[in-house]
C-alpha cells in the first residue's frame, strides 16, 4: 500500500515503539513528523536517516507532550496531519500509598491528556483533507491491570475510552480512530522497569523477565517495534476503513488469559 502524500505525526518517536512505527510508515511512503521533548542533533539525525532511506519528507519537531499547548503546537507546526499516532509515554512503578503525586500528574498528562490535545488539533485538518487515521498506542494495561502501576493503568484505560469517543464523533466521516494494545515490547521503557521489578520481587534479571514481566504473555516472547509499525500501516489501509472505535491487541495472548 502507499501512504505517499500523507503526513503522519508520531508523538514520542525518537526511540522504541514510536520510532519503529515511524520507520514502517515512512517505508509505506508517509512523510513522518518525529517528536520528543528533547531537541538535539541525534533527534534530527534519526529523521534525516529515515528521510534519506525512504525518499520521504520525514523531519523532527520538538514539543513536550506533558504540556497541552505544546501538543497542539506540534500539530500546527507540522502543517498537516492525515495520520496521528499518540505514542508518547512514561512509566512509574510504586504502590498507590507511596505513589508520588508529581509522577501521577506526569503520567496522566503525557500518556493520556496529550492524546486529547493532539486529537483536538488534528481533527479539523483531517476533516479538511477528507481522510484521517487516529491511532492511539494504549497497552494491554488499557484492558487489564497490574499492581504498582496505578497511573499507567488509569491513563491507558482513559486512552481506550478517548479512542471510542473519537471514533463515534467521526463515525460518518472518512476518519477512523483505534487503539493498538501492545503486550511487552522490548524498548527503553521496558528496560527501565527491569531494575524496579528485580528489586520489588528480589529476583535476578533473567528470572524477573521470564517469571514476572512475561508471566502474562503466553508466547513468552517480547513483541517487536516492527510488528507495531506493521499494525499501524494496516490500520491506515483501505482494508481497515470500517475498523473504528476498537482495540487491536498485539500481546502474545496476554488478554486471552
Ligand atoms: P520509550 O521510552 O522507548 O518511548 C517513549 C517515547 O516517549 C520516547 O520517544 C520519549 O522521548 C517520549 N516521551 C516521553 N516523555 C515525553 C514528553 N514529555 N514529550 C514528548 N515525548 C515524550 O518507550 P516505548 O516502550 O517505545 O513506549 C511507547 C509507547 O508504547 C508508550 O505510550 C507506552 O506506554 C506504550 N507501550 C509500551 C509497551 C512496551 O512493552 N514497550 C507496552 C505497551 C504499551
In the chain (257 residues long), the average pLDDT of successive 10-residue segments reads 94 98 98 98 98 98 98 98 98 96 98 99 98 98 97 99 99 98 89 90 92 91 95 98 98 96
pLDDT attached to residue 92: 94
Task: Give pTM, 2 decimals.
Answer: 0.95
Q: Which of 60, 152, 184, 201 is catalytic?
A: 152
Q: Which atom of ligand 1 is nearest to the CA of 20?
A: 26
Q: Which atom of ligand 1 is nearest to the CA of 67?
A: 18
**Angle between the N-to-C axes of helices 150-169 and 114-129, in degrees from 0 to 180, rounded to the nearest 10:** 20
Domain assignments of the chain as residue spans, ordered by start = 7-185+223-256
What separation in Å is there between the alpha carbon of 172 and the centre of ligand 1?
Answer: 31
d(CA 140, CA 153): 9
Is the sign of the CA dihedral 41, 47, 50, 55 positive or negative? negative
pLDDT attached to residue 1: 62
pLDDT attached to residue 192: 87
pLDDT attached to residue 246: 98
Our answer to whether residue 201 is catalytic in this structure is no
What Rg, from alpha-carbon coordinates, does the chain have? 18
Which pairs count as long-range contacts for 98-107, CB under 8 Å and 24+ apart, including other chains?
Answer: 99/150, 99/151, 103/151, 104/150, 104/151, 106/66, 107/151, 107/152, 107/155
CATH topology of domain 7-185+223-256: Rossmann fold (3.40.50)
What separation in Å is there between the alpha carbon of 109 and the centre of ligand 1?
Answer: 13
What separation in Å is there between the alpha carbon of 139 and the centre of ligand 1?
Answer: 11
d(CA 93, CA 103): 10
Of 49, 238, 187, nearest to 32 by C-alpha is 49
Q: Give the chain's length.
A: 257
Amino acid at each position: 500500500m502507499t501512504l505517499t502524500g500523507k503526513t503522519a505525526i508520531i508523538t514520542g518517536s525518537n526511540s522504541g515503539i514510536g520510532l519503529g512505527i515511524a520507520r514502517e510508515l515512512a517505508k509505506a511512503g508517509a512523510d513522518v513528523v518525529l517528536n520528543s521533548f528533547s531537541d538535539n542533533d541525534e533527534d534530527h539525525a534519526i529523521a534525516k536517516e529515515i528521510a534519506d532511506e525512504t525518499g520521504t519528507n520525514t523531519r523532527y519537531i520538538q514539543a513536550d507532550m506533558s504540556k497541552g499547548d505544546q501538543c497542539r503546537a506540534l500539530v500546527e507546526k507540522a502543517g498537516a496531519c492525515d495520520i496521528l499516532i499518540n505514542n508518547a509515554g512514561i512509566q512509574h512503578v510504586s504502590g498507590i500509598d507511596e505513589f508520588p503525586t508529581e509522577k501521577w500528574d506526569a503520567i496522566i498528562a503525557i500518556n493520556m491528556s496529550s492524546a486529547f490535545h493532539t486529537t483536538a488539533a488534528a481533527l479539523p485538518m483531517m476533516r479538511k483533507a477528507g481522510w484521517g487515521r487516529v491511532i492511539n498506542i494504549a497497552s494491554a494495561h488499557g484492558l487489564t491491570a497490574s499492581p504498582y502501576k496505578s497511573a499507567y493503568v488509569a491513563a491507558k484505560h482513559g486512552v481506550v475510552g478517548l479512542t471510542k469517543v473519537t471514533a463515534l464523533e467521526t463515525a460518518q466521516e472518512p476518519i477512523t480512530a483505534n487503539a493498538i494494545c501492545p503486550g511487552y515490547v522490548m524498548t527503553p521503557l521496558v528496560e527501565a522497569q527491569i531494575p524496579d521489578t528485580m528489586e520489588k520481587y528480589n529476583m535476578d534479571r533473567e528470572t524477573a523477565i521470564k517469571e514476572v514481566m512475561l508471566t502474562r504473555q503466553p508466547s513468552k516472547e517480547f513483541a517487536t517495534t516492527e510488528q507495531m509499525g506493521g499494525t499501524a500501516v494496516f490500520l491506515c489501509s483501505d482494508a481497515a476503513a470500517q475498523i473504528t472505535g476498537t482495540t487491536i491487541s498485539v500481546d502474545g495472548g496476554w488478554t486471552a488469559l
